Every structure is written in C-alpha cells, then in structure tokens.
Chain A
Amino acid sequence: MNIGILALQGAFAEHGAMLDRLGTDHFEIRQTRDLERPFDALILPGGESTVMGKLLHDLGLFQPLLQRIKNGMPVFGTCAGLILLAREVEGGTPCFGVMDICVKRNAYGRQLGSFYTEAEFCGLGSVPMPFIRAPYIRSVGPKARALAETDGHIAAAQQDKMLVTAFHPELTDNPAIHRYFLECVKKAG
C-alpha cells in the first residue's frame, strides 16, 4: 500500500511520520509529475485551506485529484483537508466539494480559541484531539455520518471512503485514527 500526501503547504511531514510508525509507504505530492507514481489513497493535511486551494489549481493538481476521489480513491482530510473536501463552506468557496457536509472555518475563533481535548471517536474509544484554529462541521447530509463530537459540534465524519477530522490526529502520539483510515483503504482495495 502506498499513500500520497498532498505537500503543498502545512503539516504534511507529521502525517508521513505517523505512517512511518504504522509501517506504511508514503510520498509527497507537490506537482503533476508526482501523480505518475501509483498510489492507493490520499491524505490532505492541515495548513491553510486558502493556500492549498489556490496551489491545487495553479499547479494543475485539482482536476486529476478530483477525478481520483470521484473514482473512489480513499481520502483522509484533517482540518484544512476537511475544508477542501466539504460540499459547503460557510463564508467561503468549496474546493473539491465532494463530501456531504457543511463546515464553518475558524469556528472557534483565533489562536486563543485553539484547544486540546479528549473525546469518543466512533468505535475507537477516547482519542486525543488538538484543535488549531479549527473548523467544525455544522451539519452532515444524508450521505455522510458523524464519527465524533466535542461541545455539541461535529469534529469528525465519514462518507464511504472519505474520512475527515476537524482536529489533528497527526500531532498526537495516538495512531488509532490513521490505522482506522488504513483499514478503510485495505477494504477498498
């Protein structure tokens, strides 16, 4: 199994380190040439969604990646990655727009609103959750389902082979959510 990690900006190296721990091959996607390598799944990391959205288009990566996601390639988005996948972005424009969720960006305010908590994640028990200038999922449509909640807001969701978290499992030392994603990829394969 080989995982492509979008590496245009943000905390992509942290996802790579987590996959190393789990013994899974991965590589960075920075330009269209990188898509010539075969890969089984895609990770969209945290960072600034405006930067990644712009670079996806400017570097010609948007259409080929959208096509792969639409063709059923498993994808895992954290924070900014979640925003890139959402069908509706409050006060912003959707990027891939493939997932049946509505998100609110910077939903907890500025950096002073960033926080750490631990909460139940569907089927995985309690997991650590750092929220950094995070979004939350305002609502999930009929195609998606919520997997975790904090303070009454949806913090993670899944729709078929698309998994998103508003927090950053890649910044913790708990690999449970990455392992959960890799199992989804295995089932898909």
Chain B
Amino acid sequence: MEKTRYELNKELAQMLKGGVIMDVTTPRQAEIAQEAGACAVMALERIPADIRAAGGVSRMSDPQMIKGIQEAVSIPVMAKCRIGHFAEAQILEAIEIDYIDESEVLSPADDVYHIDKTKFKVPFVCGARDLGEALRRIAEGASMIRTKGEPGTGDIIQAVRHMRAMNAEIRRIQNLREDELFEAAKQLQVPLSLLRDVYENGRLPVVNFAAGGVATPADAALLMQLGAEGVFVGSGIFKSGNPEKRAAAIVKAVANYTDAKQIAELSAGLGEAMVGINESEITLLMAQRGK
C-alpha cells in the first residue's frame, strides 16, 4: 500500500464528515436512505438488532446482495467483514466496496489477530472503545475509526462511554510532558509515532464517527456535541415506525447539532422509535470483541 493510497482513503472519510451512514438490507432501503440524506450506506443482510435476536454465527453478507445495493445508489457503499477474516475482506475488495467495516457486530473469525489492513487498497473503518484500541487499529491500517457502541440495542450508553473515554484520553496525552510519551505509548500498547501525532494535533490521526445505539435525533446531537465527526445509524432507522422521516430528521440533527430549537422540531411526531434493549438486559456485549 503506497502512502498516497492510504492518504486517499483517509480523505474519503473526511468527505463523509458531518454526515450519517445508515445500515440497509435491500436496494429499496438504500434508496430511502440516500433520499433521506445519508452520506453513505452500510450494506448487510441483517441489521444488528436482528443479528442479536437470531443468534448463531454472523458472517459477511452475500456479494450479490451488496452489488444490488451498489447499483441502487450513487453514495459510497460500505460492508462488514468479521474481525480477522482477511479472506472476507479480499472478497469485499474484489467487488470494489468503498469502505470495509472490520466489525465486532459479526462473529469474530480470529480472537488474536485483526486484519493487516495495510495489505489492502480499499479503506477500512474499525471500532474502538478507547484511544489504545483506536491507535492499534490505525497502526494496522484503518483509515477511519468509530465507537463500538452496543449495536442493535437502541441504548446509547456505550457509544457515549467510548466517545468520552477517547476524548478524555486525548486531552490527557496532550497535557503530558514530551518525555512522558514513551511510557504512555508502552502503557497504551500503541506505536510511539501515532501517539506523538495525537500529542501534537489533539485529535486522532483519522476521522472518528459515533456508532451503536443511535435511535433519535437527540442521540445523534448528543454524540456530535461530545466530539463525534459523524454518526452511524444501524437498527435505529429501519426498526422504527417511520424510517423515511426518522432518517431525514437524524441527518438534519447532525448538520445543526447545537440548535436545540431545530432538533425539538425535528423530534416531534417521528412515530415509534425502536423499542431497544437496555445494556444491562443483554448477555452478549459485542463491544468486548477485538481489543
């Protein structure tokens, strides 16, 4: 992977900033998402809420289904592969996916190694709960980071926890003396060069989105105000009463995330939100997959 390819991949994530990436399972849903203002779609066979309900092993989606979605929309199309499953990633690259999500939402294929993402030309987004995870994924070649949240629950608590943890650690690193960075890199188990980048710039070296449990315009606004540069919405849209309206409202809330008056109007009469499950009610914490 030459440097310029990685730069171009980080730059595509920059183009997605301030936008909403929506999970879709059919070409029709992809069209609805695009018309509602999604800046990209995530193509998958089952949305996280259904993956959670169905149980069993969850894998990369059928390439034919992904191609159908690629043909339906002009915005970037992303798809998920299992953590460590580089053969699934190779297949997604072969069908020219715009972004691969090496995702804890699917069943992990490897409980030690993540994919060596530097071997790919297509970009990867990876989940991270804190600064250490984020910089390890970036060292492996990820060109975009998202919080892990807790997919398919409609419960925002984990996404909030991860976003706060990430930004608190970045602030802590910025306040270190320069000669303390070596020990900090050792403790975080991350390359010194990436930690130095964080120290100098006060942010991750790549774009950072929020993901997991976003169900309302207020959820999206909360995470944007906590420092997210954009938002993934999974089950929250197509598990709700009025997907078109809710999707458009979340897009507008992200564009004007500090304007409470406007978000109040957007939040009115959206129909039923996804029912959701509280974090404490679930037995499988997907966010703990892949450290």
Contacts and interface: CB of A to CB of B under 8 A. Distances in A.
A and B bind: yes
Interface stretch (B179-187, B254-262, B269-277): B254-262
Contacts of B17: 9-11, 13, 47
A30 B256 contact: yes
A94 interface: no
9 residue pairs, one from A and one from B, having the closest CB atoms: A111-B98, A9-B18, A48-B39, A114-B8, A110-B96, A116-B4, A54-B37, A9-B19, A11-B14
A182 to B, nearest CB: 22
A163 B96 CA distance: 32
Interface string A27-63: 0001100000000000000111011001100110000
A115 interface: yes
Interface of B: 4, 7-9, 11-12, 14-19, 34-40, 70, 74-77, 93, 96-99, 121-123, 248, 251-252, 254-256, 259, 262
A31 B19 contact: no
A111 B18 contact: no
Nearest to A13: B17
Interface residues of A, number: 37
5 contacts: A31-B262, A48-B16, A51-B75, A59-B255, A130-B8
Interface of A: 7-14, 30-31, 46-48, 50-51, 54-55, 58-59, 79-80, 91-92, 105-106, 109-112, 114-116, 130, 132-133, 168, 171
Looking at B11, B35, B254, the one whose CB has the most chain A CB atoms below 10 A away is B11
Given A111-B76, A111-B98, A47 B8 contact: no
A51 B259 contact: no
A132 B17 CA distance: 14
Contact of B76 (A30, A133, A168): A133
